[in-house]
C-alpha cells in the first residue's frame, strides 16, 4: 500500500497521466484531488448536488470531467480551480464519464446513465454528438477502447454491449460534406451546417428518442445471470472482462464478426462491483461488496491473490496508465497500492560484476566489458524455479526479493536467492566463476525471514521465521549452529561488512552482531531500515531507511544522518580510482531525484529523473543502475559540488582552489555553504555583487576587498545612502584589526565626528584634533567644540565655549580653576551685569584634594607611526594557494574606477597629506588638491560634505581618497589573528546540553533547554545540581598582590592541548556519582529503609539531566537509570500505600499485586512476591496468591539453599490455593494483561486506556487530569508535554 485516505464513500477514481495525483469522487458530492506521494489534499471541488459517481482526467489538458446524481456532467480546470461548464441532457443518475483516449484529435466525453442511454459529447463545442440507446435498464458503466473505434457498456439488463464508433469518427474527420445537416457541427471555415433551424430541431428530437446511426451496436454479450456492474477492454488483446451481481467475473474474446465467452472466474462472495485488466501484466483485478480485491491470472484463469478489508465494501478500481499502480475506493476512503514490488533483486559480485534477476533468469553484468554507450555485458547464469503454492503460475510476489553474493569465497560463485513466497524462503545457487553459464548447482532450499547473509567461505546465516533465531548453515544446506538474537523483535538480517558479522534489524534499531563470539559490537537508531550498502573498502556503511540515510563506520558508530521527504529507493558508494571520493561519496536515488550524501553530513541534489532507477555503482560522473524492467543503464551525473565539499572537508586545499578556478561552481547555496564552514575567502571567488562581496570580505578580514566593494557601493547608492552604514561596518572591522588609517577614512566618509576626534586622541595626532576643533567651530557645533577642546587640554577654548553657550557660572569656575584670571574677571563682570553673583561658586568645587578639578592633558602616544604595531601572520592556506597559482586570470581585479596614484612617496605620507596643514597653508603632496591655508580653515576634499561649514571654496575632487586607498593597499598584506572568545561563550556555542550552559553561567538558557528537552518547569529540585555545575567548572587562583583573583576555566577536552573555540567544561556530576547514588538506593531498599531509598533515587533523577555522557554506552545507561529510579520510586510509594491501607483487604491485595509488576532487581522482586503472596493468602484471594507463588518459584534465586524455607512455604501456598481456587474479593488486577501503573493513583493503566506520560521520567497517568501538572515521580517535569527527551551528550 502506497497511500490510504479516510473520507466518505469513494464512488469514482482517476489517476493523473503524469503527475502523482489521483482524483476521487465521493458519495457526499465532494471531488478530492490528492497527491498520493506525499498524502495531501491538493484541492476540493463541491458544486455537484448529491453523489458523484464518475471522474476522469484529460490526457494533456488541465481538465477533469465529473458526473453525478444531479444529472449533470461538469468539466473543471484544476489550474483555474473552477468549473468551466456543465453539460445537460441525461435524465437520471450519471454512472461513469470518460475522456476519449485520443482527446486532442477527438474532444469527446463518454457518459453512462441510469436513463438507459450512453451519450457522446464534444466538450470543445459543448454539445451532444450522439445518444446511444439499446439497453433496457440502468447503464452502469461505459468506456472507450484504448486504440480502436469501440465502446463497451455494461447494464443491469444483464448484457454487455460493444459499440462501433467508426461512423462518428469519419463524420468528425470527413469535412463539411459528411456532417452537412448534422445539428451543431461546423465546417472547416467555422460556418454552421446547411440545415435549417426547423430541420435541426427535428433531428435533435429524433436523436433523443431513437438515437443516431453514427454509433452502432457491434456485439451484445449475454451470459451473466444478474445485472452487470462493469465491463473493461484489454489494453492490447481482443479481450473483455465483465463483473456482475451474480458474483462472477467473465472473460470474453472478440473477433471482427462475433464475440464469445471464454471463461468465468468464480470466488467472490457478493456483488462484483468493478474489474479491469492490469496495464502491464496478464492479470485481471476485481473488487466486490464482499470486502475483497481479487487478482486473477488471465492465461491460467485462476485466482492468484486476495486482499481483504474488514468493514468496508469496495466500489471502484482504477489503474495508472504508465506506472504499476492501482487504486480502489471503498466505504471509508480509498487506497493506492501495487500488486508487488518493482525493485529488481541484485547484489554486487567481485570486481566489476553485478548479479541481478530479470524475470526468471539470474544474470551477471560485467562492467569491465562495457563498449560504446553500453554499461557492460549480461551473462546468463541460471534459470530460477518457481516455488511455493504458486509454482504453476507467475503469481504476484513470487519473484526473488533479495540476492546475496558470497564475497568470502574466491574459488566459486555462491548466491542466495531469497523471496517472500509462503512467508519467506531461500535458494542457494553455486556456479563456476570461470565458466559462469556452465555447471550450476541449485536445489538447496529452505525457509527464512528476509535476506540471507554469507558469514564466511562456506557458511551463511538466515533468520528462522518462527523462533527468530539466527541459523548458521554450510554450503550443503546443513544446520551447524543456532544462535539466539541478542535483542528482541529481530525481523531481518543484513551483511555485517566482515566475516562472521551481521546487522540485525529490530524495531527502529540496527545492531552489529558477531555470530562466533555472540557479542554486540555496535548499535544505532535507524527507523524503517530497507537496505544496507557497504563502501568498497568496508570502512563505512549506509543504512537506507524509508525516509532517510544513516552513515556509520565499520563499528556501526554513526557518522551522520539525513532525512528526506520522499522515499529512498537505492544507493551506491563511489568507486572511482582517483579523486578522493572512493568510499567517501554516497549517491542515493529517490522517486524523481539523484542526490548525494557525505560522511560529514553534507547533502545535495545532483539531477532529476523521469522514472525511478536503482543505483548499483558510481564511477566519477557516471551512475550505473537498473530500471524497473531490470535493464542495466548508465546515466551521466555531475558530482562537482560533492567533490568540492569533500575536498574542503578533507582540507585538500590545492584541489579546492583548482576546482574554484576551473569548475562551474556558483550559486547562493555554495556561497552560504562556504560561509557556514568558515571559508568566506573562497566564496569571494564566486561573487560579483558588491554588497555580498563586502559582507564576505568583512567575514574573512580582507580589508582591501571590503574597501573595493565599499567604493563600488558608494558610487551605486550615493554618498548619503546606505553607503554610510557600509563605511561604519568597514571602520569597525579595521579598528578590530588595528588599521587606524582605514578607520580614519571610514569615519570621514560616514561623517562620524565624535569617533573621529576620539581616534585622533588615541593616535596622538593633535594637529588633526585641532582641525576637528576648527571644523566644529565652523559648523556651530557647541558640544563638538567642547569635546575637542577637552581632548586637546585647551582650557581657554573650553572657557570660551562655555561662555558662548551662556553657561557663565561654569565658565567662571573653569577660568578660575585653570588660572585664567583676566578672563575670570571679565566673566565676573558679565555675571554681575546680569544681576548675578559669583559668591559661593568656587565652594562647590573641591580644590587641592584628589576629587578636585585638574587640567586634562592629551595622552602621549606610545608609537607615532602610520599604523599601530600588529602581529603579522601568514594568510590562510586557501589564500596562499590562490596567490601561488599562476592563473592570474582568476585573481581579483582592481576596481575599474580607481584613479591614478597621487605620486606620494609612501603610504604614510599619503595618509598624512589627507589632513596635513602647515603654517604656510601649502599641502605636502599636491598643492592643488590640498589647499589648507588659514584663509578658509578648510581641510581640502577629505572633509568635503561633512556638513554645511559656510565656505564655497572647498574642493569636491575625490581623487586623493582613492589615491590614498591605492597607497595603503600594500600595507595591509597580512591578516590579523581573530579575536579570542571567552571560554563560557565557547561552551554555550558548542553544546546543547544544559550542564554546559549552566557551567558558562547561562542559567536562563540552561533552564530553557531543560524546559524544551524534558519539559522541566519546577527548578527548585534542580537548584543544587545546577549550582554544582556552575561552581565546579572554574577554579580561582590568586593573582598579583593588590589585584583580584583570576578565574580559570576547567576544560574536559584539553588533554592533547588547548582546544581553542571547541572547548567544553568539566562538570561536577559524572556517571560514577550516578552509579553510586543508585547503589545507595538499592542498599536502603534491601534493608527496608524506604524513605532513604526514595530520597536517593529522587536525587539521582535530579542529577541525570545535568550529567554529560562520554560515549553512547553511558548515554544508554543514563536513560536506563531514569527507568530504574522511576520504577523504584513507584514501588516505594506503593509500599507506603500498602501500609496506609492495611485495614482494607481489597486495596492492600491490589497494591501488593501492583508492587510485583514494578521492574525491580531479582532479589528485590523476590521480596515483593513473598509479601504479595502472604497478603493475598491472608485475605483468601487464592487465585492471585497461586499466581504469586508460581512466579516466586520460577525465580532463579529460589534454587539456592538460603531460600529453601521460602521455597517450601511457596509450594504449600500454591497447593492450598489450587485447592481453594477462588478469590474472596473482586480485584482491579489482571495478571495476564500488560499494564503500566498510574504514578499518582496507583491503579493499573491497561493497553488502550487513555493516558498521559511524562517525557522525562516516563511516568504514566490514567486519563488527562494530570496533563500540565508536575510529575509526581521526579517533581520538576510537566506531564503530557511531548518533547525530544533527555539529552545526554553535547
Name the average pLDDT for the chain.
79
pLDDT value at residue 1259:
92
pLDDT value at residue 892:
33
Per-residue pLDDT averaged across 66-82, rounded?
A: 93
pLDDT value at residue 1176:
86
**Sequential DSSP letters for 1213-1234:** HHHHHHHH--BSS--S--TTS-
pLDDT value at residue 853:
61
Is 13 in contact with 334 (CB distance < 8 Å)? Answer: yes
Residues 1212, 1214, 1216, 1218, Cα dihedral to 10°: -160
pLDDT value at residue 930:
30
Q: Residue 467: CB partners within 8 Å, gap ≥ 6?
A: none
The H or E element that residue 787 is part of is helix 782-792
Per-residue pLDDT averaged across 877-896, rounded?
A: 40
Least confident of 186-200, 397-411, 838-852, 910-924: 910-924
Q: Residue 1083: CB partners within 8 Å, gap ≥ 6?
A: none
Q: Is the pLDDT of residue 936 over 70?
A: no
pLDDT band at 1200 (very low <50, low <70, confident <90, very high): confident
What are 293-340's pLDDT values in tens digits?
Answer: 999 988 888 888 888 888 889 999 999 988 889 999 999 999 998 877
pLDDT band at 442 (very low <50, low <70, confident <90, very high): low
User: Alpha-carbon Rg of the chain, whole angstroms?
Assistant: 44
pLDDT value at residue 77:
94
Q: Is the pLDDT of residue 181 over 50?
A: no
pTM tops 0.85: no
CA distances from 1027 to 828, 1023, 1031, 1087, 1274 (A): 63, 6, 6, 32, 19
Q: Is the pLDDT of residue 862 over 70?
A: no
pLDDT band at 990 (very low <50, low <70, confident <90, very high): confident
Instruction: Please name the residue that has the C-alpha cell 523483535.
Output: 489
pLDDT value at residue 174:
64
Angle at 318 between CA 316 and CA 324, to 5 degrees: 145
In the numeric block, which cell numbers belong to residue 636? Answer: 551521466
For the chain, give me the number of helices (H) and strands (E)? 30, 61
Q: Is the pLDDT of residue 874 over 50?
A: no
pLDDT value at residue 63:
94
pLDDT value at residue 946:
36
pLDDT value at residue 133:
92
Nearest to 1290 by CA among 985, 990, 968, 860: 990
Q: How far apart are CA 54 and CA 143, in angstroms?
A: 11
In the numeric block, which cell numbers belong to residue 757? Answer: 576626534
pLDDT band at 1241 (very low <50, low <70, confident <90, very high): confident
More confident site: 822 or 721? 822
pLDDT value at residue 758:
78
% helix, strand, coil for the chain, step of 5: 30, 30, 40
CA-based torsion, 685, 687, 692, 693: positive or negative: positive
Distance of CA 1186 to the CA centre of its chain: 53
pLDDT band at 1188 (very low <50, low <70, confident <90, very high): confident
What are 688-739's pLDDT values in tens digits?
Answer: 666 666 666 666 666 766 776 677 776 666 655 555 677 777 777 777 766 7
pLDDT value at residue 961:
37
Phi, psi of 301 (to 5 degrees): 60, 45
Q: Is the pLDDT of residue 667 over 90?
A: no
Per-residue pLDDT averaged across 147-162, rounded?
A: 93
pLDDT value at residue 686:
59
What are 492-537's pLDDT values in tens digits?
Answer: 899 988 888 999 998 888 999 998 888 889 999 888 899 999 998 8
Q: Is the pLDDT of residue 1063 over 50?
A: yes
Q: Is the pLDDT of residue 189 over 60?
A: no
What string of H, E and C letters represents the secondary structure of 535-582?
A: CCCCCEEEEEECCEEEEEECCCCEEEEEECCCCCCEEEEECCCCCCCC
Task: Kindly give the pairing relationship between strand 586-589 and strand 239-244.
Answer: unpaired
The H or E element that residue 1007 is part of is helix 1003-1014
CA distances from 1133 to 15, 62, 1148, 1273 (A): 60, 67, 13, 10
What are 608-618's pLDDT values in tens digits?
Answer: 888 888 999 88
pLDDT value at residue 966:
39
List the beta bridge partners of residue 503.
Answer: 494, 512
pLDDT value at residue 610:
83
Is 147 in contact with 195 (CB distance < 8 Å)? Answer: no
pLDDT value at residue 643:
84
Maximal C-alpha separation, the chain: 135
Q: What percent of the chain has pLDDT over 90?
A: 24
DSSP-based three-state secondary structure for 44: strand
What are 1-53's pLDDT values in tens digits?
Answer: 788 888 889 999 999 998 889 999 999 999 999 998 888 899 999 989 999 99
DSSP-based three-state secondary structure for 1205: helix
pLDDT value at residue 937:
32
Q: What percent of the chain has pLDDT over 70?
A: 78
pLDDT value at residue 1125:
93
Phi, psi of 745 (to 5 degrees): -65, -40
Per-residue pLDDT averaged across 89-102, rounded?
A: 93
Q: How far apart are CA 769 and CA 757, in angstroms?
A: 6
In the numeric block, which cell numbers belong to residue 229? Answer: 456492474
Least confident of 42-56, 284-298, 673-687: 673-687
Is 614 in contact with 625 (CB distance < 8 Å)? Answer: yes
**Sequential DSSP letters for 459-490:** EEEEE-TTT--EEEEETTS-EEEEE--SSSSE
**Sequential DSSP letters for 182-236:** -TT-B-TTSPBPSS-HHHHHHHHHHHHHH--SSSEEEEEEE--SS-EEEEEE-SS
Question: What b-and-e string marks burial along 674-686, b requiring 16 or more CB atoms within 10 Å of the CB?
Answer: bbeeebbbbbbbb
In the numeric block, which cell numbers belong to residue 977? Answer: 589573528
Q: Residue 822: CB partners within 8 Å, gap ≥ 6?
A: none
Amino acid at each position: 500500500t502506497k497511500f490510504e485516505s479516510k473520507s466518505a464513500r469513494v464512488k469514482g477514481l482517476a489517476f493523473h497521466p503524469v503527475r502523482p495525483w489521483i482524483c476521487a469522487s465521493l458519495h457526499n458530492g465532494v471531488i478530492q484531488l490528492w497527491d498520493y506521494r506525499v498524502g495531501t489534499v491538493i484541492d476540493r471541488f463541491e458544486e455537484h448536488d448529491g453523489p458523484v459517481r464518475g471522474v476522469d482526467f484529460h490526457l494533456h489538458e488541465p481538465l477533469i470531467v465529473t458526473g453525478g446524481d444531479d444529472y449533470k456532467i461538469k468539466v473543471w480546470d484544476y489550474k483555474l480551480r473552477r468549473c468551466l461548464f456543465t453539460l445537460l441532457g441525461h435524465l437520471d443518475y450519471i454512472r461513469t464519464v470518460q475522456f476519449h483516449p485520443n482527446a486532442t484529435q477527438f474532444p469527446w466525453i463518454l457518459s453512462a446513465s441510469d436513463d438507459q442511454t450512453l451519450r457522446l459529447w464534444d466538450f470543445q463545442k459543448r454539445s451532444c454528438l450522439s445518444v446511444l440507446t439499446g439497453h433496457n435498464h440502468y447503464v452502469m458503466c461505459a468506456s472507450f477502447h484504448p486504440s480502436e473505434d469501440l465502446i463497451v457498456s455494461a447494464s443491469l439488463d444483464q448484457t454487455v454491449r460493444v459499440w462501433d464508433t467508426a461512423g462518428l469518427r469519419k463524420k468528425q474527420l470527413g469535412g463539411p460534406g459528411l456532417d452537412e445537416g448534422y445539428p451543431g457541427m461546423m465546417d472547416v471555415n467555422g460556418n454552421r451546417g446547411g440545415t435549417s433551424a426547423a430541420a435541426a430541431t427535428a433531428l435533435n428530437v429524433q436523436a433523443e428518442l431513437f438515437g443516431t446511426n453514427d454509433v452502432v451496436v457491434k456485439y451484445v454479450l449475454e451470459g451473466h445471470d444478474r445485472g452487470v456492474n462493469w465491463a473493461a477492454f484489454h489494453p492490447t488483446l481482443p479481450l473483455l472482462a465483465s463483473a456482475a451481481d451474480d458474483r462472477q467475473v467473465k472473460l470474453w474474446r472478440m473477433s471482427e464478426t462475433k464475440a464469445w465467452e471464454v471463461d468465468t472466474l468464480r470466488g467472490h462472495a457478493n456483488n462484483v462491483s468493478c474489474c479491469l485488466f492490469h496495464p502491464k501484466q496478464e492479470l485481471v483485478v476485481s473488487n466486490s461488496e464482499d470486502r475483497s480485491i481479487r487478482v486473477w491470472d488471465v492465461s491460467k484463469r485462476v485466482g492468484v491473490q486476495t486482499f481483504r478489508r474488514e468493514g468496508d465494501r469496495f466500489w471502484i478500481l482504477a489503474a495508472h496508465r504508465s506506472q504499476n499502480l492501482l487504486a480502489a475506493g471503498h466505504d471509508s476512503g480509498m487506497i493506492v497500492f501495487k500488486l508487488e514490488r518493482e525493485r529488481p533483486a541484485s547484489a554486487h559480485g567481485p570486481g566489476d560484476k553485478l548479479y541481478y534477476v530479470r524475470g526468471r533468469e539470474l544474470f551477471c553484468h560485467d562492467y569491465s566489458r562495457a563498449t560504446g554507450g553500453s554499461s557492460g555485458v549480461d551473462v546468463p547464469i541460471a534459470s530460477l524455479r518457481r516455488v511455493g503454492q504458486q509454482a504453476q503460475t507467475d503469481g504476484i510476489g513470487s519473484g526473488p526479493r533479495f540476492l546475496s553474493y558470497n564475497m568470502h569465497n574466491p574459488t566459486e560463485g555462491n548466491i542466495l536467492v531469497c523471496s517472500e513466497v509462503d512467508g519467506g524462503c531461500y535458494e542457494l545457487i553455486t556456479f563456476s566463476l570461470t565458466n559462469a553459464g556452465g555447471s550450476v548447482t541449485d536445489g538447496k532450499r529452505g525457509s527464512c525471514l528476509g535476506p540471507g547473509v554469507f558469514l564466511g567461505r562456506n557458511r551463511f546465516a538466515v533468520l528462522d521465521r518462527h523462533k527468530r533465531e539466527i541459523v548458521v548453515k554450510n554450503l550443503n544446506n546443513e544446520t551447524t549452529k543456532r544462535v539466539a538474537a541478542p535483542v528482541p523483535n529481530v525481523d531481518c538480517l543484513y551483511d555485517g561488512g566482515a566475516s562472521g558479522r551481521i546487522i540485525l534489524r529490530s524495531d527502529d534499531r540496527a545492531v552489529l552482531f558477531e555470530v562466533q563470539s555472540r557479542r554486540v559490537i555496535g548499535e544505532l537508531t535507524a527507523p524503517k531500515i530497507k537496505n544496507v550498502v557497504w563502501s568498497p573498502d568496508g570502512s563505512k556503511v549506509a543504512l537506507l531507511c524509508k525516509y532517510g540515510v544513516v552513515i556509520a563506520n565499520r563499528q556501526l558508530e554513526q557518522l551522520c544522518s539525513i532525512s528526506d521527504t520522499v522515499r529512498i529507493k537505492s544507493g551506491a558508494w563511489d568507486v572511482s580510482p582517483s579523486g578522493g571520493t572512493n568510499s567517501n561519496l554516497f549517491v542515493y536515488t529517490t522517486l524523481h531525484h539523484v542526490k548525494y550524501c557525505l560522511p560529514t553530513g553534507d547533502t545535495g541534489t545532483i539531477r532529476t529523473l523521469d522514472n525511478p532507477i536503482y543505483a548499483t555503482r558510481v564511477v566519477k560522473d557516471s551512475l550505473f543502475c537498473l530500471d524497473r524492467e531490470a535493464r542495466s543503464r548508465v546515466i551521466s551525473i555531475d558530482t562537482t559540488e560533492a567533490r568540492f565539499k569533500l575536498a574542503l572537508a578533507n582540507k585538500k586545499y590545492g584541489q579546492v582552489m583548482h576546482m574554484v578556478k576551473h569548475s562551474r561552481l556558483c550559486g547562493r547555496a555554495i556561497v552560504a555553504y562556504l560561509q557556514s564552514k568558515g571559508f568566506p575567502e573562497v566564496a569571494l571567488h564566486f561573487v560579483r555583487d558588491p554588497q555580498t562581496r563586502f559582507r564576505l570580505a568583512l567575514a574573512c578580514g580582507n580589508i582591501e576587498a571590503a574597501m573595493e566593494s565599499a567604493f563600488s557601493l558608494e558610487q551605486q547608492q550615493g554618498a548619503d545612502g546606505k553607503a554610510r552604514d557600509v563605511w561604519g561596518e568597514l571602520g569597525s572591522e579595521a579598528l578590530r584589526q588595528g588599521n587606524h588609517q582605514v578607520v580614519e577614512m571610514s569615519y570621514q566618509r560616514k561623517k562620524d565626528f565624535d569617533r573621529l576626534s576620539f581616534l585622533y586622541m588615541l593616535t596622538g595626532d593633535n594637529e588633526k584634533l585641532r582641525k576637528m576643533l576648527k571644523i566644529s567651530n565652523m559648523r556651530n557645533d557647541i558640544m563638538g567644540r567642547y569635546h575637542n577642546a577637552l581632548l586637546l587640554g585647551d582650557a581657554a577654548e573650553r572657557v570660551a565655549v562655555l561662555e558662548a553657550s551662556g553657561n557663565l557660572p561654569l565658565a567662571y569656575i573653569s577660568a578660575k580653576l585653570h588660572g585664567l584670571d583676566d578672563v575670570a574677571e571679565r566673566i565676573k563682570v558679565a555675571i554681575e551685569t546680569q544681576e548675578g553673583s559669583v559668591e559661593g561658586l568656587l565652594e562647590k568645587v573641591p580644590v587641592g584634594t584628589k576629587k578636585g578639578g585638574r587640567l586634562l592633558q592629551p595622552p602621549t602616544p606610545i608609537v607615532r607611526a602610520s599604523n599601530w604595531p600588529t602581529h603579522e601572520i601568514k594568510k590562510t592556506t586557501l589564500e596562499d594557494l590562490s596567490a601561488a597559482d599562476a592563473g592570474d586570470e582568476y585573481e581579483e581585479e582592481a576596481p575599474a574606477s580607481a584613479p591614478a596614484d597621487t605620486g606620494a612617496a609612501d603610504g604614510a605620507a599619503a595618509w598624512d597629506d589627507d589632513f596635513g596643514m602647515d603654517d604656510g597653508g601649502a599641502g605636502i603632496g599636491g598643492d592643488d588638491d590640498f589647499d589648507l591655508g588659514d584663509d578658509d580653515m578648510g581641510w581640502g576634499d577629505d572633509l568635503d560634505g561633512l556638513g554645511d561649514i559656510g565656505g564655497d571654496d572647498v574642493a569636491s575632487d575625490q581623487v586623493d581618497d582613492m589615491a590614498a586607498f591605492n597607497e595603503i593597499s600594500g600595507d595591509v598584506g597580512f591578516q590579523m589573528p581573530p579575536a579570542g572568545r571567552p571560554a563560557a561563550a565557547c561552551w554555550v556555542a558548542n553544546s546543547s546540553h544544559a550542564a554546559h550552559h549552566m557551567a558558562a553561567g547561562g542559567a536562563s538558557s540552561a533552564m530553557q533547554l531543560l524546559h524544551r528537552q524534558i519539559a522541566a518547569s519546577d527548578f527548585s529540585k534542580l537548584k543544587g545540581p545546577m549550582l554544582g555545575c556552575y561552581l565546579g567548572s572554574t577554579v580561582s587562583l590568586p593573582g598579583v598582590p593588590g589585584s583580584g583573583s583570576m578565574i580559570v576555566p576547567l576544560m574536559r577536552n584539553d588533554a592533547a592541548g588547548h582546544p581553542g573555540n571547541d572547548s567544553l567544561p568539566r562538570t561536577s556530576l559524572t556517571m560514577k556519582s550516578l552509579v553510586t547514588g543508585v547503589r545507595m538506593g538499592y542498599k536502603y531498599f534491601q534493608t527496608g529503609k524506604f524513605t532513604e531509598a526514595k530520597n536517593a533515587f529522587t536525587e539521582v533523577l535530579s542529577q541525570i539531566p545535568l550529567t554529560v555522557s562520554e560515549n553512547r554506552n553511558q548515554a544508554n545507561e543514563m536513560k536506563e537509570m531514569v527507568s530504574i529510579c522511576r520504577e523504584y520510586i513507584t514501588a516505594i510509594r506503593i509500599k507506603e500505600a500498602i501500609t496506609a491501607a492495611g485495614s482494607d483487604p481489597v486495596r492492600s491485595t491490589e497494591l501488593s499485586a501492583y508492587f510485583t509488576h514494578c521492574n525491580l532487581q531479582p532479589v528485590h522482586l523476590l521480596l515483593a512476591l513473598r509479601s504479595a503472596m502472604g497478603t493475598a493468602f491472608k485475605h483468601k484471594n487464592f487465585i492471585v496468591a497461586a499466581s504469586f507463588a508460581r512466579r516466586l518459584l520460577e525465580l532463579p534465586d529460589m534454587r539456592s539453599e538460603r531460600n529453601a524455607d521460602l521455597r517450601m512455604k511457596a509450594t504449600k501456598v500454591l497447593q492450598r490455593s489450587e485447592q481453594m481456587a477462588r478469590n474472596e474479593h473482586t480485584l482491579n488486577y489482571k495478571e495476564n494483561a500488560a499494564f503500566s501503573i498510574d504514578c499518582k493513583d496507583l491503579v493499573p493503566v491497561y493497553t488502550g486506556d487513555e493516558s498521559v506520560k511524562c517525557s522525562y521520567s516516563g511516568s504514566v497517568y490514567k486519563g488527562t487530569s494530570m496533563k500540565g501538572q508536575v510529575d509526581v515521580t521526579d517533581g520538576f517535569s510537566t506531564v503530557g508535554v511531548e518533547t525530544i527527551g533527555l539529552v545526554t551528550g553535547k
